[in-house]
């Protein structure tokens, strides 16, 4: 019987309910704020995915590196790119958190 049914958990935390109601209110009252927030969150997700791909490429290069690691120009290039992208993602996440606080206020 349980294989043919779907169990739905209707429990909602106070914070979760507050966030849902706030999102509905913002959507109805000031749609442009919700649109801005969605754009910010979308860019963060894209940056995080790019960062994961760079991390995977870096690990692949480290795993396949033979000889002196410091002489592998591709590896150093990938490491530099990953470092720059991680700083960009960190800045984007900080900006998004600040923007989200402003929207909540």
Whether 42 maps to a domain, the answer reads yes
Report the domain count for the chain: 1
**Which of 92, 91, 65 has the alpha carbon at shortest distance from 79?**
65
3-state secondary structure of 78: helix
Whether 43 maps to a domain, the answer reads yes
Task: Tell me the pLDDT of the chain averaged across its residues.
Answer: 80
pLDDT beyond 80 at 59? yes
Mean pLDDT of 85-103: 81
Whether 5 maps to a domain, the answer reads no
pLDDT beyond 80 at 103? no
The pLDDT score that the predictor gives to residue 1 is 60
Whether 55 maps to a domain, the answer reads yes
Mean pLDDT of 77-96: 83
Whether 52 maps to a domain, the answer reads yes
Whether 4 maps to a domain, the answer reads no
Q: Which domain holds residue 87?
A: 11-104
pTM: 0.58
Residues 60, 80, 87, 23: is their CA dihedral positive or negative?
negative
The pLDDT score that the predictor gives to residue 9 is 66
């Amino acid at each position: 019987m349980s294989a043919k049914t779907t169990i739905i958990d209707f429990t909602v935390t106070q914070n979760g309910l507050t966030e849902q109601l706030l999102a509905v209110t913002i959507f109805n009252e000031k749609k442009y704020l919700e649109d801005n927030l969605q754009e910010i969150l979308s860019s963060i997700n894209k940056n995080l995915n790019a960062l994961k791909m760079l991390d995977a490429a870096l690990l692949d290069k480290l795993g396949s590196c033979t000889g002196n690691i410091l002489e592998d120009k591709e590896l150093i290039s990938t490491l530099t790119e990953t470092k720059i992208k991680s700083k960009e993602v960190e800045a984007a996440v900080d900006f998004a958190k600040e923007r989200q606080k402003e929207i909540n206020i």
